[in-house]
Structure 1
Amino acid sequence: MSIIVALDFDNRQAADDIVEKLGDACGFYKVGLELLTAVGPEVIRELIGAGKEVFLDLKLFEIPTSVAHAVRAAGALGVTMVTVHAMAGATIMEAAVEAAKDYPGLKIAALTVVTSLTDADLAQVGVRSSVESQVVRLAQLAEKAGCPAMVASPREIHLLRTVINKETLIVTPGITLDPTTEHARSATPAEAIRAGADHLVIGRSITHAADPVAAIQGAERSKA
């Protein structure tokens, strides 16, 4: 079980400051589109050079060749996990999994349904099923494509644990220490752990806390 701290910043200084503040209290960070676009891949190289693991949240959704090239680029950086949209389909996920084989330790995490979406949001884009049903459908498709990890909200973990292999990792965003959140399907660390999460992605509850070390330590205590 790991806590992944989300470096959701638009500048290098803010990211560096939180990494410095957390020090040895955190060994795993999420780098997403915001930080990567703002400052480039050097931030990833430096995190890995400092002995940290990186969850690269690219949410890849492109033609198979492009996805495979992006996965290889992520592998060359030394990241631990990279995300691919399960909605992209089996062929694209299979291409990602195959590309990852060139980099031992690199895992493809299939994103099911992002945590901000509701049943009504899915209906707007023509998906005529509930969030839960869509998460299960996509997770099973991703598992058949060979993805060793899934990304799903805390609200679907328990259900997923009944339909996917027990070895499949579940990475869970939407984890909050604060009831005020933009995630429609959020939970506390303790709730997600009880449901069966393997990795908890926590952002502002830690990075914007008055004492980030105390915040991550509090989240860690939930794992006991």
Structure 2
Amino acid sequence: MSDPRNRLIVGLDVATTEEAEALVQRLGDSVIFYKIGFELAVAGGLVLAEKLAHSGKKVFVDLKLHDIGATVEKATRNVARLGASILTVHAYPQTLRAAAEGRGDSELKVLGVTVLTSWDAEDVREAGFSESPEELVARRVRHAHDAGVDGVICAPTDLAVVRKIAPSPFLAVTPGVRPAGTALGDQKRVATPGEAIRAGADRLVVARPIIAAADPRAAAEAIVEEIAAAG
């Protein structure tokens, strides 16, 4: 991952594929890796994922799958056929094992979702867990590592926990990244791009600070420069 552009994933968190394609066109060669999440996936985003992959871009399909094992395995196999580079599943043991099986020998990387960046200790308790967010992250990292998937999605504030349990080449990909001075929105456990890279993140997922910027390309270039300086 010598190219810092390969460490930035831009979230196409927009309502339509037309908006997404216009954004990709505007960003041009400043971005090589894109995320397609739920909002866009249910508006034709999986077709766009295949199109982007075939055009030479890398695609992160952020579906956070969680279902019976057979369904997760087959869905993972289908995502691999799209040419996607990354797929997320929730970090429950059966789900992780099924996704690892569905990935097979493809180039798709499967990442387990630990604790959402919009959750804090109160949210974890409300969901019925007795652990702290850090303890829950640690348990889910162990599940992902034991299941043989490629890494996890975690908040940048949890990177120390992840790296203590599973050093590289186990992947740690972090959303909840906010350049200094930008709004946090609904994110609660965040860091700047430089902080996240220095803490051990392999790749950063950034959406609103880029796609809502007056000049998205300049915003992306600034983050790439910060990644390069920190790496």
TM-score per shorter chain, which class? over 0.9
Over the matched positions of the two proteins, sequence identity in percent amounts to 39
User: Which has the higher mean CA deviation after the structures are superposed, 21-30 or 171-180?
Assistant: 171-180
Counterpart CA distance in 2 for 1:165 and 1:144 is 13
Name the Cα RMSD after superposition: 1.1
Q: Is 2:169 the counterpart of 1:164?
A: no
1:179-216 alpha-carbon deviations (Å, 9 max, x no partner):
33211111110110110100100001011111111111
Deviation at 1:45, TM superposition (A): 1.6
Name stretches of at least 5 consecutive residues in structure 2 with no aligned partner.
2-6
Equivalence for 1:83: 88
Which residue of 192, 206, 213 maps to 1:209? 213
Counterpart CA distance in 1 for 2:127 and 2:175 is 22
Counterpart CA distance in 2 for 1:191 and 1:24 is 25
3-state SS of paired residue (2:175): strand
Equivalence for 2:103: 100
Counterpart CA distance in 1 for 2:25 and 2:133 is 38
Counterpart CA distance in 2 for 1:102 and 1:140 is 22
CA contact (8 A) 2:115 2:154 kept: yes
Give the aligned residue type for 1:17.
A
Equivalence for 2:142: 140
Give the aligned residue type for 2:132.
S
Counterpart CA distance in 2 for 1:131 and 1:55 is 25
Give the aligned residue type for 2:196.
A
- Where do residues 4-19 of structure 1 align in structure 2 (5 Å cutoff)? 4-19=9-24
User: When the two structures are aligned, how many residues end up with a matched partner?
Assistant: 221
1:38-66 alpha-carbon deviations (Å, 9 max, x no partner):
12421112111221000000100100000
Counterpart CA distance in 2 for 1:128 and 1:76 is 39
Which residue of 25, 30, 35 maps to 1:25? 30
Counterpart CA distance in 1 for 2:148 and 2:160 is 21
User: Which has the higher mean CA deviation after the structures are superposed, 5-14 or 59-68?
Assistant: 5-14
Closer/same/farther in 2, CA of residues 161 and 102 from structure 1, 3 Å limit: closer
Q: Is 2:192 the counterpart of 1:188?
A: yes
Closer/same/farther in 2, CA of residues 40 and 203 from structure 1, 3 Å limit: closer
User: Which has the higher mean CA deviation after the structures are superposed, 57-66 or 155-164?
Assistant: 155-164
Equivalence for 1:54: 59
Counterpart CA distance in 1 for 2:31 and 2:75 is 26
Equivalence for 2:177: 175
Counterpart CA distance in 2 for 1:71 and 1:19 is 25
CA contact (8 A) 2:137 2:161 kept: no
Counterpart CA distance in 1 for 2:129 and 2:184 is 28
CA contact (8 A) 1:72 1:102 kept: no
Counterpart CA distance in 1 for 2:105 and 2:70 is 15
Counterpart CA distance in 2 for 1:95 and 1:165 is 23
Counterpart CA distance in 2 for 1:211 and 1:217 is 10
Q: TM-score, normalised by structure 2?
A: 0.93
Runs of 4+ in 1 over 4 A off after TM superposition: none
